Amino acid sequence: MTTRDYKSDCIIFDDSYEGYSAKNFTLPGIYEKHISTILVPSGMIENRLERMSIDILSEYEKSGVQSVYVICILKGGFKFASDLFKSLQEYSFTRRNYIKVSIDFVAASTYVDDSVGHDTKITPCTNMEKFRDKDVLIVEDMVDTGTSLNELERFVKKYEPKSVRSAWYVVLML
């Protein structure tokens, strides 16, 4: 993957990025002596999440979509998927065309003992047949090799959804 594979509206931090001095932020006392740099402030994360929600809903609105099933990749993607799901629901209520947003879970991993493996193990936490002829948004917190996400997309497509899209928060350029 290269940076040109992503939309130009992504926020990209290159290797020379040094972050912000932790002295500019309020930290819990137990962390103050251990943290010297903040790479991404929480306000930036929250704002980006809101922007992503608006962009995602706009794309679905353009396609005439009325409901979306979010599939969270467990376990790592839970916090991001939960926050994105909440934001999608909140912004959906403010839109001209309300889009119903539901969430389900799938465990997918290519890691073996903290190292990237070759085979992706996918364990659905729901009956995948419910996604037939539905619009699906797969949510991942971090994409490094893209293997889990690609395999899960192929797996979900076996159930013939109307559409499959993906959203992720961090892409590691290895």
- Enzyme catalytic residues: 144
Under 8 Å between Cβ of 109 and 167: no
d(CA 127, CA 149): 19
d(CA 162, CA 164): 7
Under 8 Å between Cβ of 166 and 138: yes
Residue 111 burial (CB < 10 Å; 0-12/13-18/19+)?
A: middle
d(CA 107, CA 152): 9
